Each structure stands twice: as C-alpha cells, then as structure tokens.
C-alpha cells in the first residue's frame, strides 16, 4: 500500500497544512500528565489560523476530519483503501458484525513532541495482534505494512487534532468487521477495515492518581477456550454490567478472577494488572483468557531494564491483598496506580502518599519514550514527520 496514493485523495489545502512550530518548556512526564486534563487549548493553532477548542477533560470521543476505509471479500486480501470525510457508514441490517459480533478493534496513540514531530508507539504490535485476532474470528486481515501505512495516513490527515505536548494524545481506533450480509451463522462475505481518531485526555477521571477497584466474584470476563485473548468486540460488552454496578458504588473499575478456580487474577475491564512485592513485579501470564496488552509487554521490558525482577505466572488473590503496590496498564490508561482493592467487603489500601514509587517510576520511563522526551533505545517509536 502506497501512502502517497492514499494521500493524493485529500484536498490540496489538507496536503499543504503547515507544520506547527511548538516551543514548550521542558517538564517531566509526571508534570505533563498532571496537566493533561485539556478542558480547552483554544490558543493552539492548526497552521490554517483556525483555533482548536477541545472541550472535555477525560477519555471521550470527539469527531475529527478524516477516516480510512478499505474492503475485501471473504477469501481475498485487502488492497489500497482511501481516506474519506469522517461520518456515518452504511451497513446491511444482516451484516455479520451486527448479527454475530464478527469484529475486532485495536487502540494506539499518536503524540506530538516538543520539536513538532509526531510519534506512534509500537504500531506494528497492534498490526500483529489484529492478525492473530482475525485468524481466531475467521476474518481476513491487512498485512502489517498495510496497517502501518493506513494508520500513518489517517493520523497525518487529522494532524491538526493532535493535542500539544503534555495536553493529551490522538487516540487511533482501527476496526476490522464483517460488513457483508449473512443470515445463517457463517463468516461474513465481505469485510471492512475502518480507522478513525479522536483527541483524548485521561482514561480514568483520577488521572495519574490512585484508582479504587472491586474484585468481581460472580461474573467473569473470559473463559478458557474462548476469545478473551483477542481484542474482539464482545469481550467488552460483557463487562459493562459489573463495571456499571461498581461505578454506582463509587469504584473506578472491576478486577476479574479466573472462571475456573475463582482465585487467580485475570485483568481489569480494559487493562492488565501488576502486583509489586519488594523488587518483584508479577503479572498474570498470557494463557488464552487475558489480552496480551502492548503496554503490558512494554512495561515488562522497561521494568527489567530498571533492575526489577519480573514474573509472568498465576497470581492469587491473596498475593494481591498482600502486595506493596498494585497498578494497571493499557493503551488508554498507560499506567494507573491502584489505591485500594475491595474483595468480599474487605478493603485493602496501598501506600499513604498517593502514587506508588514503582508506578511512578515506570510511568515516567514509558511516557518519556512515548512523548519523545528520552532516547528510544528500544526502537519502539515511529516518527511521522
């Protein structure tokens, strides 16, 4: 897929967007994150003398300018797609995605740096995970190269929506769905890849502050042999009931246990969980019921490089309650420290001075890479400018 061919479909005024010159004072990633509730940055120019005003303080959807779409038939391969103005799409009432939930999604971010560059964080990992999920859900998938070029084109077409450094990021949502009409239970005859973007702030309203979780003992996110290990859409609708009940009681989110023994940690509704004891950081092993998070994978490598002992294994509820520190990771949350866990009406708190040392250390290290504030010795970031 040639990015030039994609971009030529854009109007001339979009192709000629001037590159914004940014001149921000350097601050630490922690300071940047604490400022990332961008209620408004109307003084930020997009290069066409238009002022962007973002209203909203957390992780929420905001329509942007362009989306990317490509289609293919069952048994065939995706070819070049195109950028279209963002808007509603047309689907048959009998589309596979609507009737049988044949769909996957991904999530990644683009960051604007102090020198005006745009960085993507490990997008090839999203491409590979999408391909694994597509195989499980009996769908064709774009190649890694096609995925990368489509993401790049979509981000550049919506460049004016990328917040300034430290004021948020541009969230990128690729979708792969069975768009063809099918009545009997079978793979859809046609598939669509659609990518759209939205500027976002913090996922949890607490920002980089401890969240409060409740352990769910009756409902489960996934079961062995199911689809918990891929990013299929049905995995997320299944957590809404427990999550809603938890939030109604004042909790931030839900932590799920395994469905067989009901004593091993799995994950939070949309992020992985880590337990710290001394110099050891433990996280549930990937065994088919837990999503292999890209932030999770990155945090493990960062922790090893910083001298921590890392363990991927079965982690019990008792270890969680006895931990020195607990935190969650995900594309949306990055790193989110846990302030308390409630299990069977027993509340356990972690730390007394806000963000835990390990959570803050790992958050600073990872976001420094994502935002271009530290040298990327891992080769994880992709520059778009």
Q: Which residue numbers are catalytic? A: 231
Give the gyration radius of the chain's Cα atoms.
21
Pick the closest to residue 65 from 45, 40, 93, 85 (CA basis): 85
Q: How far is CA 263 from CA 126, 216, 218, 315, 321, in A?
A: 30, 11, 12, 8, 12
Long-range contacts of residues 120-124, Cβ cutoff 8 Å, at least 24 apart: 120/151, 120/152, 120/155, 120/172, 120/381, 120/382, 120/384, 121/294, 121/298, 121/369, 121/370, 121/380, 121/381, 121/382, 122/294, 122/298, 122/380, 122/381, 123/147, 123/148, 123/151, 123/382, 124/148
How many Å apart are CA 126 and CA 338, to the nearest integer? 26
Return d(Cα 293, Cα 301) in angstroms, integer.
13
């Amino acid at each position: 897929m040639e990015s030039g061919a994609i971009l030529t479909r854009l109007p001339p005024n979009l192709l000629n967007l001037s590159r914004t010159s940014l001149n921000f004072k350097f601050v630490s990633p922690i300071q940047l994150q604490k400022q990332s509730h961008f209620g408004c940055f109307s003084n930020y120019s997009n290069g066409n003398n238009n002022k962007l005003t973002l209203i909203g303080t957390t992780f929420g959807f905001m329509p942007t300018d362009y989306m990317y779409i490509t289609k293919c038939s069952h048994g065939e391969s995706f070819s070049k797609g195109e950028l279209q103005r963002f808007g509603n799409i047309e689907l048959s009432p009998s589309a596979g995605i609507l009737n049988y939930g044949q769909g996957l999604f991904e999530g990644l971010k683009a960051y604007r740096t102090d020198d005006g560059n745009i960085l993507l964080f490990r997008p090839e990992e999203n491409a590979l995970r999408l391909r694994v999920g597509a195989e499980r859900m009996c769908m064709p998938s774009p190649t890694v190269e096609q995925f990368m070029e489509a993401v790049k084109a979509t981000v550049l077409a919506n460049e004016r929506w990328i917040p300034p450094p430290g004021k948020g990021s541009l969230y990128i949502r690729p979708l792969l769905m069975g768009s063809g009409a099918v009545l009997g239970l079978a793979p859809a005859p046609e598939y669509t890849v659609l990518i759209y973007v939205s500027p976002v702030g913090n996922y949890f309203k607490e920002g980089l502050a401890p969240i409060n979780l409740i352990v769910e003992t009756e409902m489960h996110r996934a079961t062995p042999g199911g689809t918990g290990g891929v990013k299929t859409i049905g995995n997320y609708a299944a957590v809404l009931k427990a999550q809603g009940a938890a939030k109604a009681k004042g909790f931030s989110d839900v932590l799920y246990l395994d469905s067989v023994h009901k004593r091993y940690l799995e994950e939070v509704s949309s992020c992985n969980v880590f337990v710290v004891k001394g110099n050891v950081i433990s996280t549930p092993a990937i065994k088919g019921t837990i999503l292999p998070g890209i932030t999770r994978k990155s945090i493990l490598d960062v922790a090893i490089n910083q001298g921590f002992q890392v363990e991927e294994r079965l982690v019990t509820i008792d270890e969680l309650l006895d931990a020195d520190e607990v935190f969650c990771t995900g594309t949306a949350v990055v790193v989110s420290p846990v302030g308390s866990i409630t299990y069977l009406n027993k509340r356990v708190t972690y730390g007394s001075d806000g963000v835990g040392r390990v959570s803050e250390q790992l958050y600073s290290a990872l976001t420094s890479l994502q935002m271009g504030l530290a040298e990327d010795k891992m080769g994880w970031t992709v520059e778009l400018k």
